[in-house]
Amino acid sequence: MAPRTSKDPDKKPARAKPAAKVASASADIAAEPAAKSASKAPAKADPADTIKLRNLVDTVAAATGAKKPDAKKAVEAVLAALGAGLAAKSVFVVPPLGKLRVAKSNGSVLTLKLRLADASRAAGLALAEDDEDS
């Protein structure tokens, strides 16, 4: 865009802003709504907090004293059983973890609800009843 010219020939035309300043100002304006909407979006998982199969197998092998290939078979079998149960919308009552159920199902996407077991319940006492998890 060309700079404005004045109608009076004695006046100098307005100096155009450098393109870098205009670009950075428009980027700042565009970033403000994005920053506001990003605060409403759910936080993404930190890669350091992600537990992968390898980490899970290592943890199980260390906790049980089993060899890693044996621990891997056991972990994969448990995960397969969990996947099949969740696909069938089963409710899992697993005392060290808690109670896990499917809250919503949208095709291949499941929304799960987990009620964590507290210390007394993790010790083997009964977990939440069906009417208790709202």
What pLDDT shows up at residue 49?
A: 84
Provide the angle, in degrees to the nearest 10, between the axes of the packed helices 68-87 and 53-64.
Answer: 120
pLDDT at 134: 47
- Distance separating alpha carbons of residues 126 and 102, to the nearest angstrom: 20
Residue identified by tokens 């004695």 is: 10
Compute the radius of gyration of the chain from its Cα atoms.
Answer: 29
The dihedrals phi and psi of 124, each to the nearest 5 degrees, come to 115, 0
Q: Read off the pLDDT of residues 58-96 as tens digits, 9 standing for 90 and up.
A: 999 999 999 999 999 999 999 999 999 999 999 999 988
pLDDT in tens, 5-39: 656 666 665 565 555 444 444 444 444 444 444 44
| Cα–Cα distances in angstroms (integers) from residue 53 to residues 1, 19, 58, 60, 62, in the given order | 57, 50, 9, 10, 14
Span 85-132, pLDDT tens digits? 999 999 999 988 899 999 999 988 999 999 998 866 555 555 455 555
